Amino acid sequence: MKPIQSSLKRWIEENGDFQARHQQMKQELMNHPDIHAFLQEHPEITSKEIDKSLNRLYEYTTQSIQCSKCKSYGSCINMVKGYSPVLSVFHDEIHISYEKCHNHIQYEKQEQEENLIASFYMPKEMLKARMDDIDVDAHRVEVLKAITAFLDEAQANVPEKGIYLAGPFGIGKTYLLGAVANRLQEFNISSRLIYMPEFVGEMREAIKTNTVQDKIDMFKQADVLMLDDIGAETFSAWFRDEVLGSILQYRMMERLPVFFTSNYTMDQLETILSSTSKGGIEEVKAGRIMERIKQVSSEILIDGENKRQ
C-alpha cells in the first residue's frame, strides 16, 4: 500500500477543482495587507515554504489581531481567548505563536486592581467612593489634610500610622475609608476593609470551623487595614484580646497603619473596651488595646450633618 501522503498528493494533482481553490486561497492570502507586509519583511521565504505554510497564514488572517475584531476580553473570538497571533521566521520557516492581546492585559490589570481592595460586610457603594467626590467644608478640613498627607507619603512608602476618625453617625466616615482605599489602589497598595459588628459574629463562627487563625493572619498582613464602626458592638474578652489584640499587636510591631471609624472618641472607646459581654470591667486590658490603637493611628474628630436622614 502506498503511503497516505503520496496518495493524497496524487489526488490533489488530479483534482482540478481543489487546485483552483488552493490557488485562489493562496492569492487571497498574498493580497492580505498583514501577510503581504510580513513577506516583504522576509524576502528569504521561498514560494515552497509559503505553500507549505498556507494553513498557518490562513489561521493568522482568521484571528483578531490585537483586538481588531473584538471589543473586550470577554468577547474575544480567537482560538486561544485573550491571545493574539504573531508570525515569525525561524530557519527560513514560517511559524505562528500567540501573545497576550491588549484587552487581555487590560483585563488582568483591572482584575489585579480590584483584588487590591478586599471588603468584608461593607456597603457596595462604598467601593465606588472617590476622593474627588468628597465635599470640602469646615468640618472636614482637618481630616482631609491628614488623608492627603497620608496618600502623598504612600506614593513612596506606606506610612506607619493610619487615622482614627471619631464622629457622629451618618456624616460620611465610612465613605472616607472607601475613597482612601480606592486612591491607594492606584498606587498598587492593598487594603482590607472590615465592618466590625459583622466581623465579631464572623469570628464566633470561625471557632466552629477552626479558621480563626487564618482570618486573623489575613487582616494582620494587609498593606492598609481599615476597621469600620469599632465600638458599635460589645466585644467578648476573647475577641478583644485574642483577635483584635493579636491583629493590632502584629501591625504595631511591623509598623503597618490601621484606619478606624467610630462614633466614639479614643477615650470613650477605652471605657467600652473595658466592659466585657459578661458584665465585667477590665481596665488594664482595655488600656493595652488602646495603646496599640494609638500606635497605629492618629485620632481626628469629625463632625457634620447626618447625610442618611
In the prediction, which pLDDT does 1 show?
45
Give a three-class secondary structure readout of 53-82: CHHHHHHHHHCCHHHCCCCCCCCCCCCCCC
Cβ 300 vs Cβ 146: under 8 Å = yes
> 116-301, what's its fold?
Rossmann fold (3.40.50)
In the chain, where the domains are located: 4-104, 116-301
Question: How far apart are alpha carbons 294 and 83 in whole angstroms?
Answer: 50
Cβ 96 vs Cβ 161: under 8 Å = no
Report pLDDT digits (tens) over 170-206.
888 988 999 998 899 888 888 888 888 888 888 888 8
- pTM recorded for the entire structure: 0.63
Identify which has the larger pLDDT, 14 or 27: 27
Identify which has the larger pLDDT, 70 or 135: 70
In the prediction, which pLDDT does 136 show?
76
Q: What angle do CA 21, 25, 28 make, to 5 degrees?
A: 140
Question: How far apart are alpha carbons 197 and 121 in whole angstroms?
Answer: 9
Question: How far apart are alpha carbons 300 and 281 in whole angstroms?
Answer: 27
